[in-house]
Amino acid sequence: MSHGHSSALAHHFDSLEQQREASTLGMWLFLVQEVMFFGGLFMTYMLYRWRDPEAFAAGSHDLNITLGLLNTVVLIASSLTMAMAVHSAQTSRRRPLIGYLTATGVLGLAFLVVKYFEYSAKWEHHLVPGPLFHFSEPAIGGRAEVFFSLYFAMTGMHALHMVIGIALLAWILRGAVRGRFDASYYNPVENFGLYWHFVDIVWIFLFPMLYLIGRHYHGGA
Amino acid sequence: MSRTGTAETNYLNAQHGLKSWLLTLDHKRIGLLYLMGVSFFFLLGGIFALLIRLELLTPQGDLVQPDTYNRLFSMHGIMMVFFFLIPAIPGVLGNFLIPIMIGTRDVAFPRLNLASWYIFMAGGSITLLGVLAGGVDTGWTFYPPYSSLYSATNVLTVGIGVFVNGFSSILTGLNFMVTIHRMRAPGMTWFRLPLFVWGHYATSFINVLGTPVIAITLLLLVLERAFHLGIFDATKGGDPVLFQHLFWFYSHPAVYIMILPSMAVISELIAAFTRKRVFGYHFVAFSSIGIAVLGFLVWGHHMFVSGQSVYAGTAFSLLTMLVAIPSAIKVFNWSFTLYQGSVSFDTPMLYALGFIGLFMIGGLTGVFLGTLGFDIHVHDTYFVVAHFHYVMVGGTIMGYLGGLHYWWPKITGRTYPEFWGRMSAMLVFVGFNLTFFPQFLLGYMGMPRRYHAYPEEWQVLNVLSTAGASVLGLGFLLPLGYLLWSLKYGKLAGKNPWGAKGLEWTTDSPPPTENFRDAPVVSEEAYDYAGAGHGDGGAPAPARAH
């Protein structure tokens, strides 16, 4: 590989093509293990929702659907800017690449800020599992605690993935500013995009499962 | 690089100094880093085992307190399962051999490979901290609510250690899968791959799919214990049995994570020491995949008495028996390979034959235990302890030691003393059976596991077991001694001391950093002993090492 990005080719690969295929396959396998990781949580959710649908419906009433919806829009927008970033890298347009990556990062941070306000509201209303937990509806009471445990475990795991994603994004952005990526070498941007979309998709499942399902079955609160 | 001579630089003398090891990206050096790591944890787990067997020498609980005993068997299990049996063969032999066997320069992601070792050591160190602070007494299974609510030991630290270590398995599995898919030399088709590579591919598949589930399970347990989430707490609407489901969804396949790499080694040994292509190559290759897939469908057989419905139990019982089919395919095919082979009984082959013996006993008693009715009789007795030691420990250690001896000349460039090697193989085989066969009898008579005292009528069998453990310990210490000795005093091995087939025997011993002086092109099947080479491996077939 004498042309273009010979510096991007690691010594143990024969060609950039082989290197690209290897890292893309690696990323997909990583996402497979992510699916299994979140799968354990989703399994737990399904089991407990099936056991006590009433408590789950009551619990979801205490989630802030406006903020949840706002965050859904923010994340979908960030997936769009991420896809545009990958496209910019593929077409060797450096300035749009930097712009779209920055926009993705800002949207990711916005998601976390909204999440922070949601979490602190839960804390104030004693909806964080533990000794201080108190659910206002006497008919449900402590039964809602498992719902909120799962809410924090699932959205917490998701938020952790967002934090890691933003850190990775900063690293990709640094490469973009230094002009590392163009049509002949854009694999890191593309693979990071896969990760970002995956984290987005997790939220697309979390939002209806935690905020929406069964909400209209439950009159109170 | 020129291709003349053999006394050139190799991966061991290419660079010097501690830093060149701790920052190495060479898969061979990383394999040796794993060798040191797993050996340390094996020794530690062995010390716990020794204390357990010493306590059980007498019916009375006279050596340690009951609480201490609980910690001993828990730490023995955790150290051995998570930090020796699971990482040993893939970490050491898999890392060293897979790139060489498929004819490439390194794994697909060398930096990730080094990171996996550091994650392994980090997980091990955190667990070790928990051990030094007093250990845990939950058993290696960490069942709640005991682990989440009642145990006063270091569940958090050890749980986090095991959690961290899991990512080492996941990333190594991912790395191997991509390497096998994308890095094969020209001509190295899937059905020319050595069965060692097929076995590791199947193992990696389980690691990528199964290990994340134990990760999230342990994380939930840690959160449950730290913040009282209630997910596994029945008083808050949670379900402790869910933990068992999630735990065994990984931990049963984990048994295959331990034994598939060992089976992978055995296929290589059987071919090399019978001078024949493994009988039914395709069946042996696919049986690894079969075991990996079926392994995910049987976890419920650990929960026959956990309140699982009897219909689920019946289904799991039937599914469990299906695993016997690919396992038997392997054993039958290895046996057929022996038929009319030119069999020689060098140390690795003794280990391989020992493996078949132990695995047959372990595997068949697994079918007993998979039978719903019988399991209820022997559940949580020494019958179970004996069974899983035969499969996991007998299976993995025989393959690990056999493989370590077989490839030792390739790894170090020197041969080990054959006489002492055979002695160790005999001691391990005899010691192992003497340790664990009496436990089948004890279990059948009803001796429960995890107690530090027992009725007097069981003493004879327990004394036999402890005596066997001493022999076994000697069998493990012996290789530690002579393998270290051989580093300096062993005879120079040459490229192919066994006259075996396979790309790893076509390169220098020890191999150069880039594995091959000239990139290999593959034009023959695996184990082509009957082909152009007339059954003696590559050109000029050297004399056997001894």
Average pLDDT (B362-378) is: 93
Nearest by CB to A129, which of B174, B182, B227? Answer: B227
* A10-18 contact pairs (CB < 8 A, 24+): A10/B110, A11/B105, A12/B104, A12/B105, A12/B106, A12/B107, A12/B110, A12/B183, A16/A184, A16/A185, A18/B182, A18/B183
Q: What is the pLDDT of residue A218?
A: 54
pLDDT class for A216, splitting at 50, 70, 90? Answer: low
Per residue in B211-232, pLDDT (tens digit) is 999 999 999 999 999 998 889 9
Do the Cβ atoms of A41 and B216 come within 8 Å? Answer: yes
Which residues in chain B have Cβ-Cβ distances shorter than 8 Å to A153?
220, 223, 229, 231
Q: Which domain holds residue A199?
A: 15-217
Q: What is the pLDDT of residue A217?
A: 64
Average pLDDT (B269-274) is: 97
Q: Which of B236, B249, B515, B521 to mutate to test the interface with A (most CBs of A within 10 A)?
A: B236
Buried b (16+ CB within 10 A) or exposed e, A84-119: bbbbbbeeeebeebbbbbbbbbebbbbbeebbeebb
Please state the pTM of the whole predicted model: 0.94
Share of chain B above pLDDT 90, in %: 92
Q: Chain B closest CA to A96's CA: distance in Å?
A: 30
Nearest by CB to A30, which of B174, B211, B228? Answer: B174
Average pLDDT (B110-118) is: 98
CATH number, position A151: 1.20.120.80
Per residue in B198-210, pLDDT (tens digit) is 999 999 999 999 9
For residue A219, pLDDT over 60 is answered with no
| Within-domain flag for A5 | no
**What does the domain layout of chain B look like in residue ranges?**
18-505
| Within-domain flag for A3 | no
Do the Cβ atoms of A11 and B108 come within 8 Å? Answer: no
| Within-domain flag for A4 | no
| Within-domain flag for A8 | no
Q: Give me the CATH topology for the region B18-505.
A: Cytochrome C Oxidase; Chain A (1.20.210)
Peptide bond into B348 cis (omega under 30): no
Average pLDDT (B36-62) is: 96
Average pLDDT (A48-65) is: 92
Nearest by CB to A149, which of B112, B209, B231? Answer: B231
Say whether residue A130 is in contact with chain B using an 8 A CB cutoff. Answer: yes
Do the Cβ atoms of A37 and B175 come within 8 Å? Answer: no
Which residues in chain A have Cβ-Cβ distances shorter than 8 Å to B215?
37
How many A-B residue pairs are in contact by the CB < 8 A criterion?
111
Say whether residue A131 is in contact with chain B using an 8 A CB cutoff. Answer: yes
Average pLDDT (B379-402) is: 96
Q: Chain A closest CA to B505's CA: distance in Å?
A: 20
Do the Cβ atoms of A37 and B212 come within 8 Å? Answer: yes
ipTM of this model? Answer: 0.92
Cα(A20)–Cα(B545) distance, integer angstroms: 43
Q: Which of A146, A150, A187 to mutate to test the interface with B (most CBs of B within 10 A)?
A: A146
pLDDT class for B7, splitting at 50, 70, 90? Answer: low
Nearest by CB to A146, which of B170, B174, B236? Answer: B236
Which residues in chain A have Cβ-Cβ distances shorter than 8 Å to B177?
25, 29
Q: What is the pLDDT of residue A6?
A: 58
Do the Cβ atoms of B236 and A142 come within 8 Å? Answer: yes
For residue A40, pLDDT over 50 is answered with yes
Average pLDDT (B263-286) is: 97
Which residues in chain A have Cβ-Cβ distances shorter than 8 Å to B179?
22
CB within 8 Å of chain B, chain A residues 48-107: 48, 51-52, 55
* Residue in A138, A133, A125 with CA at minimum distance from that of residue A149: A133
Average pLDDT (B473-498) is: 96
Name the more confident of B380 and A218: B380
For residue A103, pLDDT over 60 is answered with yes
> From residue B544, how far is each of B341, B344, B429 by CA, in Å?
17, 11, 24
Average pLDDT (A36-58) is: 94
Say whether residue A43 is in contact with chain B using an 8 A CB cutoff. Answer: yes
Q: Tokens in use for A83?
A: 């896809």
Q: Which of A30, A34, A36 to mutate to test the interface with B (most CBs of B within 10 A)?
A: A36
Give the position of tokens 């590989």: A1
Nearest by CB to B213, which of A36, A52, A142? Answer: A36
Do the Cβ atoms of A34 and B210 come within 8 Å? Answer: no
Per residue in B302-343, pLDDT (tens digit) is 999 998 899 999 999 999 999 999 999 999 999 999 999 999
Q: Chain A closest CA to B4's CA: distance in Å?
A: 23
Tell me how many domains chain A contains: 1
Cα(B279)–Cα(B51) distance, integer angstroms: 43
For residue B3, pLDDT over 50 is answered with no
Do the Cβ atoms of A22 and B213 come within 8 Å? Answer: no
> From residue B149, how far is each of A130, B78, B156, B524 by CA, in Å?
13, 20, 12, 60
For residue B151, pLDDT over 50 is answered with yes
Say whether residue A37 is in contact with chain B using an 8 A CB cutoff. Answer: yes
> From residue B61, how far is each of B67, B140, B223 by CA, in Å?
11, 22, 35
Nearest by CB to A36, which of B175, B209, B223? Answer: B209
For residue A74, pLDDT over 50 is answered with yes
Q: Chain B closest CA to A88's CA: distance in Å?
A: 26
Nearest CA in chain A to B106: A12
pLDDT class for B539, splitting at 50, 70, 90? Answer: very low
Nearest by CB to A36, which of B108, B110, B212? Answer: B212
pLDDT class for B493, splitting at 50, 70, 90? Answer: very high
Which residues in chain B have Cβ-Cβ distances shorter than 8 Å to A30?
174
Which residues in chain B have Cβ-Cβ distances shorter than 8 Å to A194?
none
Say whether residue A142 is in contact with chain B using an 8 A CB cutoff. Answer: yes
Question: Residue A110: which residues within 8 A CB-CB, separation 6 or more?
Answer: A74
Nearest by CB to A40, which of B109, B177, B217? Answer: B217
Q: Tokens in use for B476?
A: 């493990």
Do the Cβ atoms of B246 and A29 come within 8 Å? Answer: no
Q: Chain A closest CA to B488's CA: distance in Å?
A: 31
CB of B358 closer than 8 Å to CB of B402: no
Q: B451: helix, coil or strand?
A: coil
The overall average pLDDT reported for chain B is 94
Do the Cβ atoms of A131 and B228 come within 8 Å? Answer: yes
Per residue in B399-425, pLDDT (tens digit) is 999 999 999 999 999 999 999 999 999
CB of B108 closer than 8 Å to CB of B175: yes
CB of A188 closer than 8 Å to CB of A164: no
Name the more confident of B95 and A129: B95
Cα(B157)–Cα(B463) distance, integer angstroms: 35
Which residues in chain B have Cβ-Cβ distances shorter than 8 Å to A152?
229
- Residue B448 phi, psi dihedral angles, 5° rounding: -75, 150
Cα(A22)–Cα(B536) distance, integer angstroms: 36
Buried b (16+ CB within 10 A) or exposed e, B508-525: bbbbbbbbbbeebebeee
Do the Cβ atoms of B174 and A29 come within 8 Å? Answer: yes
Do the Cβ atoms of B230 and A39 come within 8 Å? Answer: no
Do the Cβ atoms of A33 and B212 come within 8 Å? Answer: yes
Q: Which of A45, A149, A160 to mutate to test the interface with B (most CBs of B within 10 A)?
A: A149
> From residue A25, how far is each of A30, A100, A169, B457, B504 by CA, in Å?
9, 25, 20, 59, 26
| Within-domain flag for A6 | no
User: Which residues on chain B place their C-beta less than 8 Å from a C-beta of chain A?
Assistant: 104-110, 112, 170, 174-175, 177-179, 181-183, 208-213, 215-217, 220, 223, 227-231, 236-239, 242, 246
Letter for the amino acid at B472?
A: L
